[in-house]
Amino acid sequence: MNEAALKERLKTIATEKETTLNKVWKQLLLERFLARLSDSPYQDKFIFKGGLLLAQYIAINRETIDIDFLITKIKSEMQNIEKVIKEVAATDSEDGFSFTWFSAEELNQPHIEYSGFRITLDAQFGKMRDKIQVDIGIGDMVVPVETTFNPFEYKGKPIFAGEISLYVYPPEAIFSEKLETIISKGAINSRMKDYHDLLVMIREPDFLDTEKLTNSIKATFNRRGTPISLSINFDSTGIQSLRALWSNHLRGLGVFRERLNLPNQIDDTIKEINRWINLKNL
């Protein structure tokens, strides 16, 4: 496939999804890196997690701009991580894309409970160039499941052949980590996507298994040293700062805000999550 043909397909997909060509292009780049990981000898060493994974499970209707992994069974020194990522990037998936190393930095952010690295790669298809970001976590623990994803489709058929098979976080682990972050970090957690994602997950029928979720919450909170008190509560100062952040988050969703029917106030978002937690007796 040449560059012009790919652009035409992406324009059609963008129109169908009511989004921009650039956003679809970014998502395709992330997918093609995942395809390389799936085809590489390191497929079982990276556990796929985060917003991009959640978007594979259900419609979260928010932009995901990076790929998140937890690594396992490989040395976590930067020199080795660079070697492994370069090998994954060089895997030939016969799609015309290329990925090359650009930079790396240590992750040091308030909402991240364990160490890791942020890798930036150059991506190219023909004369089309961009960068992708890969965040790698180290030291956390989860029991992954192997899942197969279907690639981007155009008129009902994959743009590029081949399934993508990866080890991933189960939905219950995604929920548990986001809930723990909200409770442990409190009002200093500015990531409104955590509240967004919890709300979308609890509204999806039969998405979360109650028994598995209960066990996952206990394991996550105990592992991170957070007391298990699942009600989300803030004082007046804390909730005031979150209200402004939530309003900005809603504005950033564009046309998807109405489709998701998210509450206008973070207060109502928290109430809905707390009601669901109480209903499930977690």
Query: For residue 63, what pLDDT band results from cuts at 50, 70 and 90?
Result: confident
Each domain of the chain, given as residue ranges in start order, spans 3-169, 172-279
What DSSP string describes 111-176? Answer: T--S-EEEEEEEEEETTEEEEEEEEEE-S-----EEEEEPPPEETTEESS-S-EEEEE--HHHHHH
Handedness of CA 106, 54, 35, 122 (dihedral sign): negative
**What local confidence, expressed as pLDDT, does residue 111 receive?**
47
Q: 108 in helix, strand or coil? A: coil
> pTM here?
0.89
Cα gap 34→48, rounded to integer Å:
9
Q: What is the DSSP code (8-state) at residue 248?
A: H
What pLDDT was estimated at residue 109? 55
The confidence score (pLDDT) of residue 161 equals 84
Residue bearing tokens 């682990």: 173
**More reliable by pLDDT, 269 or 114:** 269
Between the two ends of the chain, the Cα-to-Cα distance in Å is: 50
Q: What tens digit of pLDDT does each residue of 127-150 get?
A: 999 999 999 998 777 889 999 988
